[in-house]
Amino acid sequence: MTVISLNCWSESDQKAIRAQLVRILNSGPFHQSQRRQRFLEYLVNETLAGRGERLKAYNVALEVFDRPETFDPVVDPLVRVEAARLREKLREYYGTDGQSDPIRIELPKGTYTPHIEFQEGGQQSTIFRSRSASTACPPIPGQFRSARPLPKSAGRAWRCWPPLFC
């Protein structure tokens, strides 16, 4: 297995991720909750813009849930509660409508940075994207190293980001 470490998302990857986001937002599990749609859209867009380090409960509360600057995430669990609901709706989506989608967007517990996986047709490779992703950065060739094999999900190989969750 080969692991390629890249410092950014390619333009075609970003386009594919945004198309996947639209599919998710228009699905049954998300159709009736504008709050959940806004939350997922914000997390994915910030990640693609290279601002994953800003995805903290305080920033999410201000940007997504219109909380005042006095918001305290320790006192008010709003973001954690909504993140748990978002995780459940993503599981529901990928358990039904999104079972065969080429891209998986998940929100691992303990973080607000989405984990994005691309299905690779029969290829066993994993591509990691850094948190400092930018739209103008081309892939960096020649950065290969060995890695442990990933478990196959229903016979599919995936490339994913961030590497912490692969």
Q: Which amino acid is at 22?
A: V
The total domain count for the chain is 1
- The confidence score (pLDDT) of residue 79 equals 97
pLDDT digits (tens, 9 = 90+) for 56-111: 999 999 999 999 999 999 999 999 999 999 999 999 999 999 999 999 999 999 99
The Cα–Cα gap between 86 and 10 comes to: 26
- φ/ψ of residue 143, rounded to 5: -105, 80
Residue predicted with more confidence, 20 or 136: 20
Q: Is 140 a residue whose pLDDT tops 70? A: no
CB 39 within 8 A of CB 82: yes
- The confidence score (pLDDT) of residue 3 equals 36
pLDDT digits (tens, 9 = 90+) for 10-57: 889 999 999 999 999 999 999 889 999 999 999 999 999 988 889 999
SS (H, E, C) the chain: CEEEEECCCCHHHHHHHHHHHHHHHCCHHHHCCHHHHHHHHHHHHHHHCCCHHHCCHHHHHHHCCCCCCCCCCCCCCHHHHHHHHHHHHHHHHHHCCCCCCCEEEECCCCCCCCEEEEEECCCCEEEEECCCCCCCCCCCCCCEECCCCCCCECCEEEEEECHHHC
Residue 75: which domain range?
2-165
- The confidence score (pLDDT) of residue 23 equals 96
List beta partners, residue 103.
Answer: 118
Q: Is 9 a residue whose pLDDT tops 50? A: yes
- The confidence score (pLDDT) of residue 146 equals 26
- The confidence score (pLDDT) of residue 147 equals 29
Mean pLDDT of the region 144-156: 36
The Cα–Cα gap between 50 and 66 comes to: 22
Predicted structure pTM score: 0.72
pLDDT digits (tens, 9 = 90+) for 99-114: 999 999 999 999 999 9
- The confidence score (pLDDT) of residue 75 equals 96
- The confidence score (pLDDT) of residue 125 equals 40
- The confidence score (pLDDT) of residue 152 equals 41
